[in-house]
Amino acid sequence: CDCGEHGKCHYNESQKVCECEEHYRVFKGECRECFCGYRGSCNLDSQGEKICNCDYGFSPHEGICMPCNCDPWNVRGIGAKCSFVDGKKQCICPKGFLENEITCEDINECLTESACPPNTNCVNVPGSFQCECKPGYQRSNPYEDIKHVECKDIDECSINGTCFDPLTECINTPGSYDCVCNTSYYSTAGNLGESYIPMYNMCYPATDQWLAATIALGTIMFFGICTSCCYIIAKKEEGRPSPDLQGLRGVADVLELIRICV
C-alpha cells in the first residue's frame, strides 16, 4: 500500500485510503502537491493539474495567489478583473463590457436586431440584457431564460368587461383588441360599424337620427384612463336642425337627452 512519499496509506475494508500531508491532494492513489499560497484554495483537475481559487484581491501567478486588485478609480473603472498576463498585472474588462482604452464601457446588446425574439422589447442591463414581452403579450413560460422568452398574445376579449358597451363586439388583434359597434349602430368616434376606444366612446342607433357626443365633466386622468367620462346621446325632433352638442345648453332642440357617466 503506497501513496507516495507525502502520504500515508492504509486499508479501510480492503479499500486503499491515502492520508496526504498538508498542501497535498490525492490523485489516482498518489499524494500530489497542491498549494496556492495562503490566500487561496487548491484543487486538482482531471489531469492532475492544480487549480487555484484565490481570495478577493488576489490572482494566480506562477501557481501562487498574489495580490492583484483593480482600484475602482483606475482607468478601467468599476467591474474590471485583475489578472497576471506575461507576469504583469492587468485589469481586464468583464464579459459584457468593452475596453475603450479609458474605462470598461457597457455593451448595449439591444442595438443588435437579433438580440431578442419577436413580440419582445430588449432591455439593456449592465454587462448583459433581458427580453420583456411587449404590451398586450405575456410569457408562455414564466420560468424561461430572460434572454429567450416566448411571448404569446393576450386575448383581451376573453376578459369580461373589456368592451363595456353591450352594443359592441370585441375583436382580438395581435397585442391589442378592438371594440366594434354592431350592425346598424354608429360609434361616437367614427362611422357605421367602426371600432372605438373603450371608456371614451359608445355606440348609438343609426336609424333614428341619433346624435352623440362625448364630454368630460370633472374628468380625471389616471394612468391615461378617463375615470369620469360622460356621454350625451340626443335624439333630435323631426324637422328641426341638428343641435350643436358641443355647445348644448338645454333640451329645446332635442326630443330625448340621455347622459351616461362612467
pTM of the model: 0.48
Read off the pLDDT of residues 226-260 as tens digits, 9 standing for 90 and up: 444 444 445 554 555 444 444 444 444 443 444 44
Parallel, antiparallel, or unpaired: how do β-strands 229-236 and 15-20 relate? unpaired
Residue 14: per-residue pLDDT: 81
- What span, in angstroms and rounded, lies between the C-alpha atoms of 152 and 160? 20
Q: CA quadruple 232, 237, 242, 243: dihedral positive or negative?
A: negative
Q: Do residues 60 and 67 make contact, with C-beta atoms less than 8 angstroms apart?
A: no
Parallel, antiparallel, or unpaired: how do β-strands 195-196 and 30-33 relate? unpaired
Between the alpha carbon of residue 220 and those of residues 76, 83, 230, the distances in Å are: 51, 60, 12
Strand partners, 58: 67
Residue 160: per-residue pLDDT: 79
Q: CA quadruple 68, 69, 75, 76: dihedral positive or negative?
A: positive
Residue 115: per-residue pLDDT: 81
Residue 65: per-residue pLDDT: 94
Residues with pLDDT less than 50, the chain = 191-193, 199, 209-233, 237, 241-262
Residue 200: per-residue pLDDT: 52
Residue 196: per-residue pLDDT: 53
Amino acid at the residue 228: S
Residue 205: per-residue pLDDT: 73
Residue 40: per-residue pLDDT: 94
Q: Do residues 53 and 43 make contact, with C-beta atoms less than 8 angstroms apart?
A: yes
Q: Which phi and psi (to 5°) does residue 241 adopt?
A: -65, 160
